[in-house]
Structures are given as C-alpha cells and as structure tokens.
Amino acid sequence: MSSIQSQFLDIPSHHAKYGAIDPQGALKGSASGKVVFISGASRGIGQATAVAFAQAGARAIYITARSEGALQETCDLVRQANANTQCAFSTCDVTKADQVEAAIADCIAQFGGVDIADANAGFLGPWAKIGESDPEGWWKNWEVNLRGAYHVIRFALPHLIESAKKHEAEGQTGGHLIVMSSIGAQFLMPGASDYQTSKHAINRLVEFVQSDHGDDGIKCFAMHPGGVATDIGHAMPEHMHEYLVDEPDLAASFVVWLSSGQADWAKGRYLSANWDVEAILAMKDRILEDDLLVNRLRAKV
C-alpha cells in the first residue's frame, strides 16, 4: 500500500517502473548470462518479473506455478521480450517439497545452474478474526507463503552458493535470493492474523538465510512488491482496494535491481519496491550503522 510507505522510510516513492530500475535502460544487460528461477510466475508480478529479467538480458528463465497454460503464456512473453532468452517451465505446488525439488533439478538439467531465485508464490484468504477463522484456511497462508518460500530457498540454495562462488571468482556478483514479503508484515490489522504473521515470519526467515549462508556468498532479500491489483490484492477487504495503485512492472524491475549487485550491502533486510533506489543508496551508511530494516525488539531505557 504505497500511500503509507512514509511510515517506514521517509523517502520518495514510486508506483511504476522508472529510469533507475528500468531493465531496458539503467539495468540493461545486468542479468546477462544469468539463469533465473521464479515460482508463482503464471501471472501478475511473477509473470512481469520473468519478462523484466528477459529484458535485462538473462540467459535463461525457469518458471513454475500450478497452471500449465498460464506458464506457457509467460514463456511466450519472455521470448517476445528477448529472443535470446531461453524459457522453460514445470507445474509445481510450492507446498510440496518433492515438486519444488524436481523443478529445481529440471532447471539445472536444462540450463546448468541457478544464479537468481525469486520465491514469488503467495496466498491470501478471506480475512476473519481468529475466533471466527477456518483452521484449514488460516494455516494455508503459512503453507503457501512460508513453507512454499522455504522449499524454494532450501532447494535453490546449493546452486545459488555455487553461483555466488563462480561469479565472485570472475569479479562479478551472483547467488541472489528474493523472497516475497509484504508491508502487511509490519501491521496488525484485525482479521489478517494468518497472512500478516506469515509475512512477518518471512522477514525473519530471510535474516536467518543471510546469517546461515552469508559467508557462502548468498544475498537474500525480503521484498514488499507494492500494492498491486493481483488476485491476492483483491482478496483483501474491499476498503483496502484503494491502495492497489502500483504496476506489476514496479516490483518486477525492483527484483532485477536487487539482483544487479547494487543492493548487495542491504542483504538480509526488508525492502519495498515503492522506495526510490537512489534514496535507498543515499541512506546506506545510516541503514547499516543503525541496523535498520530488520526485525528487532528495541526498548528505550
């Protein structure tokens, strides 16, 4: 919900792709030679992200979701964006470990590695107070949003580590992992306990990934994609729809920027696609010195 971003960083915000994160402009060629794995890429932000990486020169993009027809459409868009970018897909339910493992293995078999992984698949069910919630529906948010992200992380990590070491030896950057969070992780809204707690946990999981594998060269980020009018966005109560003002290409281009190496210093943190990247870069010293954009309990004494 981009109109309330200033509660977190008082910097300029955006609602659509702009010059500093344009995959065909400032980021042209930034994904050259890279293999990108994206879950939840059949439509919306995931689909836009696949196209953005193609525009940025990715060598190959491997996409997953549950709809084969929609995945084929995304691959067609990737090829239209860049005829030199290869694209392959498999149907996959991210809540099933064996399916995610098989998809990663197929990506490796076809393209030889994974340099960038984007855990984009997500879910949001009807909002309800805890005492009125459906137990299965409540837990599904955690199954898709957290367990699904964990599966992508778990099975992509060995290959991302290999990528990071390879690119470091060549004086480049690799091993990027982007996990879809939400500004909802920072709020306490009645009826949203399932979704918002699962996204809050995502932010902490990203910190653990960085703690466990930072020395392996991994650069992991939790990302709020903005308020986009996707199926998930429209699953919010109707009065929240006024915040769905951001274009999918904003989040997509921001993912490409995170994977370009310019934000490697901010690894392990929560970042919003709405935030102006030049303003973020200008705050680098303050963010690092004060350890901002991470989950912490701080009390004034």
Cα 213 from Cα 151, distance rounded (Å): 16
SS3 (DSSP) at 199: helix
Indicate the helix (H) or strand (E) that contains 169. helix 148-169
The residue ranges of DSSP E strands in 52-170, in sequence order, are: 60-65, 86-91, 116-119
Instruction: Confirm if 92 and 120 have CB atoms less than 8 A apart.
Output: no
Instruction: Confirm if 75 and 87 have CB atoms less than 8 A apart.
Output: yes
Give the active site residue among 199, 243, 267, 270. Answer: 199
Q: Answer yes or no: 267 catalytic.
A: no
Cα 272 from Cα 128, distance rounded (Å): 26
Give the active site residue among 195, 219, 243, 267. Answer: 195
71 residue type, one letter:
L
Q: Answer yes or no: 18 catalytic.
A: no
DSSP 8-state class, residue 147: I
* Residues with catalytic function: 195, 199
